[in-house]
Amino acid sequence: MLINLLEKHKTKIIDKWIECLRNSYSGETAKFLKSQNDPFANPVGNTISTGLAGLFELILKEAEPNAIKSILDPVLRIRAIQSFTPSQATDFLFSLKKIIKEVLGNEILQNKKDIDEWFVFEIKIDQLIQTGFDIYMECITKLYELKATEMKKRTFSAFERAGLVKDNT
């Protein structure tokens, strides 16, 4: 059964998945994320590690979409703030398929039932990718709204200081 294989190799899959996401960062940042394990000194690395491990557990358990979203959101929120493009920010979700195939490829192919279950599991990963993309775009939209609001406040304050705006209260 595919779920049993995934459970058996869970640690290896999760470790490779975390490594893949860390490698999406540039040189020094990637080194720091890999070397610093203290969650207080490296909150981004901790969010990545705990998030992906929790996410994989939820996928295996066929959790509710809201539970998946609540774990995926902090990881993608960080990526949105760090100005990744949508494809860069969500690429680690796509990589999960590749990682599972690398780790389990031959074992999946040995049993027709596992192959059938793999196709169903791939759909779960595709749904995860769609959810991730939606979360990322929500975060980006919110960031742009915050930036626009801040710019309006600054412009209004500048006009007010220059005496170009009259208070009507």
Q: CA nearest 69: which of 123, 127, 145, 11? A: 127
Q: What is the distance between the alpha carbons of residues 108 and 111, in angstroms, rounded to a whole number?
A: 6
Q: Which amino acid is at 19?
A: E
One pLDDT digit (tens) per residue for the chain, 169 residues: 889 999 999 999 999 999 999 888 887 777 777 777 777 778 888 899 999 999 999 999 888 889 999 999 999 999 999 878 999 999 999 999 999 999 998 888 787 787 889 999 999 999 999 999 999 999 999 988 988 989 988 888 888 888 887 766 5
Q: What is the distance between the alpha carbons of residues 107 and 113, in angstroms, rounded to a whole number?
A: 11
Phi first, then psi: give them for residue 160, nearest 5 degrees.
-65, -45
Q: Which amino acid is at 126?
A: D
Q: What is the distance between the alpha carbons of residues 78 and 74, in angstroms, rounded to a whole number?
A: 6
- Tell me the pTM: 0.81
